[in-house]
Amino acid sequence: MGIFSTKNKFVMNALRIKERGSKDTPTNFSEKAVAFMKGMPGYYPQFTGGGGEGETEKIDESKIENIKVVEGEDGRMLYGEILGDKKFVGETDENVYDALQKEIDSGFAAKKGFKGTDVKEYEKFKLEQMEGKDVEQEKIEVEKEIKDDKKGTDKKEIKEVERQENFFESFENEFEIAGERGENEVLSIPVEFSGGNIDFKNENSMRYLRGEEGQKIVRGMSDMLGNIQNVVKERILNNMSDRDKQLLEYFPDRLNGKVENALNSLFGVGPNDARAYGIANPLFAIINTYVNKPEELKKILGSLGLTQKAGTVTEQQEIISSTPDEKGFESEWRQKRD
């Protein structure tokens, strides 16, 4: 239908139909007309743009105006509008197409920027240039949905689980030794350190070791040292000649001296350590090694055959299970649904 003409016959073009009523029946068409148009190629009464059913082109986002954002629980909706076709609403002239054709033929249309020859296209071109009360421009509402990633939900349960014992765990439980180890594996206790060793000459260190918590470490290390001494003594005796064993009946302290020297060698105690750090005997040495160098103590116990296979511990733990995340999405702009 000519935009300026009222006498040209109506041409039904499904791609030009825009819904104005319900999703099934635009208000300006009858039920029968809608049923007929639904069978035509390109009919799209619900929405346009953004990948929807029956769409022909993507909406140019740069042309969207007056965008408003409505926040929702899992995302947001964006609403805006684009300018559609212009429509002439003023007084019409039945000879308009003859006049337009003359402008094309005379070259006037080309001077105005129109490159074609079709009078209907020239009609649209002129209408786009027009402003004022005789021209109305359609405003098409558009929308876009953005759904955020939905984080999975966590469920906490208390369950009994089995785990392998830590190396010193049963020993520390037996003697009720408390304390945690930092990144350097040094036991966190309130003693003074010097040169990477406990400073047993410092009164603060000795005050702690004489106290209730310190005595738990002292008792535990004394017990462990006793087991080490027995193994060391047995190895020394097995390597002694019969004559040397006979001499021990007359000089029993010789064996104790050999055991102490062997223990000092195991724990890496030098002749100056007693003067520098107060490591006066093997008990001080094993306490220092346990606190500062637990890996070294493990090796010593392993070399003497005093380690046992770690047992399992059954305990209650808080187990957290999660549901999978729901991925978000962002739709293309489309004509707003009614």
| Count of the separate structural domains present in the chain | 2
Report how far residue 69's alpha carbon sits from residue 333's, in angstroms, rounded to the nearest whole number.
13
Rounded to whole angstroms, what are the CA distances from 234 to 45, 54, 256, 304, 308? 98, 93, 12, 11, 19
**Geometric angle at alpha carbon 125, from 120 and 130, rounded to 5°:** 120
Please name the residues in contact with 233: beta carbons below 8 A apart, sequence gap of 6 or more: 255, 259
Strands (DSSP E) found in 165-243 = 193-194, 197-198
Please give the pLDDT value at position 47. 39
Q: Say whether both 34 and 180 belong to one domain.
A: no
pLDDT at 29 over 60: no
Looking at the domain assignment, is residue 88 inside a domain? no
- For residue 41, the model assigns a pLDDT of 43
| Beta-sheet pairing, 334-335 with 75-88 | unpaired
Region 146-174: mean pLDDT is 83
Residue 74 DSSP label: S
User: Is there a domain that residue 106 lies in?
Assistant: no
Quote the domain boundaries for residue 9: 1-45
| CB burial string 78-115: b at 16+ within 10 A, e below | bebbbeeebebeeeeeeebbeebeebbeeeebeeeebe
Same domain, 39 and 172: no
Which of these ranges, 218-227, 284-293, 326-335, has the smallest mean pLDDT? Answer: 326-335
- The burial class, CB within 10 Å (0-12 / 13-18 / 19+), for 237 is middle
CA distances from 217 to 45, 168, 228, 291 (A): 83, 12, 16, 9
SS3 229: helix
pLDDT above 50 for 240? yes
Amino acid 214: pLDDT = 96
Residue 92 has pLDDT above 50, yes or no: yes
Most confident of 83-97, 110-124, 248-262, 307-321: 248-262
Residue 146 has pLDDT above 70, yes or no: yes
What pLDDT is recorded for position 60? 84
Give the range with max mean pLDDT: 38-52, 128-142, 149-163, 273-287.
273-287
Residues 219 and 251: their CA atoms lie apart, in Å, by: 30
Q: Is residue 102 part of a domain?
A: no
Return the beta strands (E) in the chain as ranges. 65-71, 75-88, 135-147, 154-164, 193-194, 197-198, 312-322, 329-330, 334-335
Average of per-residue pLDDT across 23-49? 45
Residue 101 has pLDDT above 60, yes or no: yes
State both tokens at 210: 């004489």
Predicted local confidence at residue 13, as pLDDT: 37
Rounded alpha-carbon distances, angstroms, from residue 202 to 7, 82, 86, 198, 232: 113, 83, 95, 9, 31
Least confident stretch, 73-77, 167-171, 259-263: 73-77
Q: Which residues pair with 141 in a beta bridge?
A: 81
pLDDT at 247: 87
Q: Per-residue pLDDT for 11 more than 70?
A: no
Is 110 within the bounds of a domain? no
**Residue 91: inside a domain:** no
Average pLDDT, the chain: 79
Give me the torsion for CA of 276, 280, 283, 284, rounded to 10°. Answer: -20
Mean pLDDT of all residues in 130-149:
81
Which has more pLDDT, 52 or 292?
292
Q: Verify that 40 and 159 share a domain, yes or no.
A: no
Q: Is residue 125 part of a domain?
A: no
Q: 148 or 237: which carries more pLDDT confidence? A: 237
Q: How far from the centroid of its chain's Cα atoms is residue 268's Cα?
A: 48
What span, in angstroms and rounded, lies between the C-alpha atoms of 256 and 138? 107
Give residue 291's pLDDT.
96
Same domain, 181 and 305: yes
- pLDDT reported for residue 49: 46
Phi, psi values for residue 152, rounded to 5°: -65, 155
Rounded Cα distance between 3 and 137, Å, is 13
The predicted structure's pLDDT at residue 226: 96
